Amino acid sequence: MSVNHDDVVASFQMVLGRSPDSEEAVNYHLRLGFRDRLELGAYMCSTGEFRERYDRMVAEGRAPAARRSRAAGSGRSPSSSATGC
């Protein structure tokens, strides 16, 4: 099941804490062809904007500090769960 307009808007709001800047931003994410909401959410959590938001939340004491994942130091990328997303 592919994602729809409402899924993209909800992902912006939940993960980035804001609405999309424009309909073009929504359409751009729709054109990326995410298979489902999980894939869309993982993508949103991998963005620099999310990492910056998360770091601010940690500094403000509103989110737990990221833990090192088991992948850290193994040459593999840490999972998104290391940033709480």
pLDDT of residue 6: 98
pLDDT of residue 85: 74
Q: How far apart are CA 16 and CA 74, in angstroms?
A: 29
Residues of the chain with pLDDT under 70: 67-84
Which residues fall within 8 angstroms of residue 53, CB to CB, at 6 or more apart? 16, 17
pLDDT of residue 75: 44
